[in-house]
Amino acid sequence: MEILESKKIQEKAYIETLKNGMKVIIVPKPNLDKKYIIWGTHFGSIDNRFIMPKTNEEVFIPDGVAHFLEHKMFEQPNGTNSLDTLMALGLDANAYTTNDHTAYLFECTDNFYEGLDELMDYVQHPYFTDQNVEKEKGIIAQEIKMYDDEPSWRLYMNIMDCLYKDNPIKIDIAGSVKSISQITPDVLYKCYNTFYNPSNMVMVVCGNFVPEEILEEIKKRLVEKEEQGEIKRIYPPEEKEINKQYKEVEMEVSLPMFAIGFKDTEEKTDKKELVNKHIAIEILLNMIIGKSSDVFKNLYENGTLLGQPDLDYEFSDEYAHIVISGQSKDPEQVKEKIVSEIERLKQEGLTGEHFNRIKRKIYGDYVAEYNSVGNIARMFLADTFKGINSFDYIENYDSITKEYTKNILDRVLKKENMAMSVVKCKNLK
């Protein structure tokens, strides 16, 4: 097995690529009682147009198929539901779909191998019929409507609509009521057979395991499938400009909500540079509007901000953006203060004391991630699909200088790439 190591935090990851192309990552945590396993496929909501590896057939699928497929994987021919079976074993089981991957998981202290039996059985044996697919459409339609009424989700989807014109990231992960009505068992099987091939999947196990032993247990439970080759995914041409600067809706909220987005339009560089850039952006966002920043203190103390905003940088090969979101009685004032602070830092530079303090705080956050088996496993899965070594966030930390971070500030946080989404209170005029 290949061994990745972070000497700074004394952690190792053992990686094996099996004959069928599947990657297994084992992160031993001998001093923890909890065990965590996550099995993901590189198939998310943005993958709605692709060429099948063996037939070279170009396939267009309705929006929401990856999420629909995730829901359907639990249903078994004997009428049982694998999620219920895992829960009955005392396991904390779940699944989720993101823009670029789908994952099945559980966490436990006991009954790990019984859970492994069930997990590896249901993920490898799909069961779709006209009847159970039609039934699921009604369930997911209700979920879509529920999210449409969720202010924080509307806020996020609206900032995506502001930042992107045709990129599929602006499409709801669950699709729409109209799009899921077009899903059939044939569509699901076609996507399952394409994207759930082991060569497109990664499994991460974290806990008190001997790497060689758990690897053998996983191999024993694998259904034999041959590696199918690369899936060619087709996306719209990359857009440099934002779609619109502002979008607002009125909903039942106690205080207006805002999301300020910056589209990162830079060319995608090598993977280590992406990690460095991510670290620098986290430092910048905390310097601009983090808990210890002057901007946050002033806005919070005068009652403009309800609490510390969420600060996120999301990126893949197909998209990259910053989102600053929170609640405020005056979102426009928050935006003005953030813009003003960005311009001040561009002109005056980053002060060494503030930079170093925030940099240490970010490093502490990274180290703390390794106290949780779930955080470790989910992080390694998501980073692997991005082509990133998760340990690089720890190992590259020292190389992030004030000068490099200032350069990222100038390159990425541009006013012309900024947009804002607001959810206003219905009762306010």
Q: Are 322 and 280 in contact (CB under 8 A)?
A: no
- Domain map (residue ranges) of the chain: 2-233, 246-425
Q: What is the mean pLDDT of residues 191-203?
A: 96
Whole-number Å distance between alpha carbons of 79 and 227: 31
| Pairwise pLDDT comparison (160 vs 31), residue with the higher score | 160
Q: Quick one: pLDDT at residue 109? A: 96
Sign (positive/negative) of CA torsion 64, 101, 33, 73? positive
Residues 72-91: pLDDT tens digits?
Answer: 999 999 889 999 999 999 99
Asked if domains 2-233 and 246-425 share a fold, the reply is yes
Q: Quick one: pLDDT at residue 267? A: 84
Q: What is the mean pLDDT of residues 219-235?
A: 91
**Lookup: tokens for 411:** 């390159």
Q: Map tokens 């041959």 to a residue.
A: 226
Provide the 3-class DSSP secondary structure of residue 189. helix
Active site residue 212: no
Residue 290 makes CB contacts below 8 A (sequence gap 6+) with 296, 308, 311, 358
The DSSP H or E segment spanning 259 is strand 257-263
How many other CB atoms are there within 10 angstroms of residue 168's CB atom?
18
Range in 48-57, 200-209, 284-293 the model is least confident about:
48-57
How many other CB atoms are there within 10 angstroms of residue 318's CB atom?
19
Percent of the chain with pLDDT over 90: 91
Can you point out the beta strands (E) in 274-331?
310-315, 320-327
pLDDT at 269 over 80: no
Q: Quick one: pLDDT at residue 270? A: 82
Whole-number Å distance between alpha carbons of 95 and 86: 12
Q: Give Dmax over CA atoms of the chain in angstroms.
A: 67
Q: What is the mean pLDDT of residues 151-170?
A: 96
Q: Span 246-425: which CATH code?
A: 3.30.830.10
Q: Taking all residues of the chain, what is their mean pLDDT, rounded to a whole number?
A: 95
Residues 109-148: pLDDT tens digits?
Answer: 999 999 999 999 999 999 999 999 999 999 999 999 999 8
Q: Quick one: pLDDT at residue 132? A: 93
Q: Map tokens 């996507």 to a residue.
A: 191
Residue among 37, 39, 14 nearest 27 (CA): 14
Whole-number Å distance between alpha carbons of 107 and 351: 43
Q: Are 428 and 297 in contact (CB under 8 A)?
A: no
Q: Are 32 and 399 in contact (CB under 8 A)?
A: no
Q: What is the mean pLDDT of residues 402-408?
A: 96
Would you state the CATH architecture of domain 2-233?
2-Layer Sandwich (3.30)
Q: Quick one: pLDDT at residue 429? A: 47
- pTM of the predicted model as reported, rounded to 2 decimal places: 0.94
> H helices within 76-111, ranges in order?
82-88
Residue among 204, 203, 193 nearest 229 (CA): 193
Pairing assessment for the beta strands 320-327 and 310-315 based on DSSP bridges? antiparallel
Residue among 373, 351, 384, 75 nearest 202 (CA): 384
Residue among 429, 401, 389, 120 nearest 271 (CA): 389
Residues 351-361: pLDDT tens digits?
Answer: 989 999 999 99
> Going edge to edge, which strands form the sheet with 320-327?
246-251, 418-425, 257-263, 320-327, 310-315
The single residue of 2, 57, 70, 230 carrying the catalytic annotation is 70
The DSSP H or E segment spanning 373 is helix 373-385
Whole-number Å distance between alpha carbons of 428 and 254: 10
Q: What is the mean pLDDT of residues 415-427?
A: 93
Residue 66 one-letter amino acid? A
